[in-house]
Amino acid sequence: MILRIWHGWTTPKNADTYEALLKTEIFPGIAAKDIAGYRGIDLLRRDLGDEVEFITMMRFESLQSVRDFVGEDFERAYVPDKARAVLARFDEHSQHYELRDTQTI
């Protein structure tokens, strides 16, 4: 399993708008692409006072599945125009990690 991790930041004023955009348009749009090997996405949010940080963690079966999502330049961030309009700044590249273990209680 590959975890694709990405960071973006908004102003506090735009945070709820951005979160709603992710949940109602961007995440469903990604799922609708029906990419073989895509296994879901998690959203994290942290208030930092003067800005709000968002982290997405996408799960893919392989790096090939990631390439099927964004192309050969698989580290390039996927940031639709509507998201760019409300983000103050964001990572231009995503990080990819191999999931080695998961333990639950």
Looking at CATH, the fold of the domain delimited by 2-98 is given as Alpha-Beta Plaits (3.30.70)
Which pLDDT value is given to residue 103?
95
What whole-number distance in Å separates Cα of residue 27 and Cα of residue 43? 10
In the chain, the largest separation of any two C-alpha atoms, in whole Å, equals 40
Which pLDDT value is given to residue 31?
96
Sketch the domain layout of the chain as residue ranges. Answer: 2-98
Q: Is 35 buried (19+), middle (13-18) or exposed (0-12) by CB count in 10 A? A: middle
Which pLDDT value is given to residue 1?
96
The pTM for the full model equals: 0.93
22-74 pLDDT, tens digit per residue, is 999 999 999 999 999 999 999 999 999 999 999 999 999 999 999 999 999 99
